[in-house]
Structure 1
């Protein structure tokens, strides 16, 4: 075993926020589950990461009860579930030690949000020497309001603002930033078809 699938922040916390209605990838859970199934079938490690913000009084506060995987995703008994308080999955966790101890050299990254926790994890992983595959269609993100936009806008107001960075632009930017530098970009279909292909010889 030299490869691990890292599933980042696919948690109920996000579903409790109004902006969930504008998610870029409504099929995220299905796509992630396909990767998890493929990883298990090939004997790869699956690591689950959850984001916490203790004392924040938000859905990311552990006391909220929402810091848990979205329904439909269930870790196997031997699959690590770690919690983080930083955007990348390494800085505030023992993820690097866990992977190193198991001889993992290749990471497949998926989850929420494409340009934040997923992208930053991919960047840090590459700097640490891991070979990273970024599965964009198994990530999801949300429209980003302009920095000067007032607080408390509804999803409809955010989407209507011409200054808003739309999800298609976010995904494109992330792929351009990562490809050839920090990660190889792949789709769920590409990865699962590789695993399903017969071995010659």
Structure 2
């Protein structure tokens, strides 16, 4: 998207970048090893531009989840935690127990309204779960949603009928569904960072 425009008050929504996702024995094989570097680049671009950032944390209600409250995995990854509270722009922490950041606490749509936000960028974990659900709901609610695919990652997954999809296949399916279905525009991190710096 050579003509991408990032609004002055466009928000970055950083979804569930938590230490618990590093527990490979629980989740299995992940894709996109460069995602964390891309997420960090987006956060830095938003901090430098004084734009609003939303940090979303999943507080799992499952007793065995690495993301459950009280478990070390519930906390943000170190590179995210180091960046929180260090920019000039407004920040929000949303906690949730379901996939969509719009069903968290405090109310994300209400906060967006208070900041005049109509455009936001999604990055984080997992591509096809909470990141995708947040993007889909944002599109349904009338926001302009940019989905930074290479700033997300996911894991291999088994579904019905013995079907199993690899993490890369799931990420492509998310990209096609979001972009082709009109929920969001799927973009690359470098393009977003360049547009944010204009």
Identify the TM-score tier after normalising by the shorter chain. 0.7 to 0.9
**Residue 22 of structure 1: SS of its match in structure 2?**
coil
Given that residues 29 and 73 in structure 1 are in contact (C-alpha distance below 8 angstroms), is that contact kept between their aligned partners in structure 2? no
Task: Tell me which stretches of 4 or more aligned residues in structure 1 moved more than 4 Å.
Answer: none
C-alpha contact (below 8 Å) 1:23/1:141 kept by paired residues: yes
Aligned to 2:188: 187
Match of 1:76 among 85, 95, 108: 85
Q: 2:171 aligns to what?
A: 171
Q: Separation in 2 of the partners of 1:125 and 1:146? A: 26
Return the structure number with greater helix share: 2
Counterpart Cα distance in 2 of 1:189 and 1:5: 14
**Structure 1 equivalent of residue 61 of structure 2:** 54
Q: Between Structure 1 and Structure 2, whose CA radius of gyration is higher?
A: 1
TM-score by length of 1: 0.84
User: Deviation of residue 44 (structure 1)?
Assistant: 1.2
Aligned length: 184
Q: CA RMSD in A?
A: 1.8
- For the residue of structure 2 that corresponds to 1:60, the secondary structure is coil
Which stretches in structure 1 are left out of the alignment for 5+ residues? Answer: 150-162
Q: Is the 8 A contact 2:31 2:155 kept in 1?
A: yes
Q: Which moved more, 1:171-180 or 1:57-66?
A: 57-66
Q: Structure 2: any 5+ residue segments left out of the alignment?
A: 1-7
* Pairs within 5 Å for 1:37-52: 37-52=44-59
Does residue 132 (structure 1) correspond to residue 140 (structure 2)? The answer is no
Separation in structure 2 between the aligned mates of residue 185 and residue 18 of structure 1, nearest angstrom: 30
Deviation at 1:46, TM superposition (A): 0.8
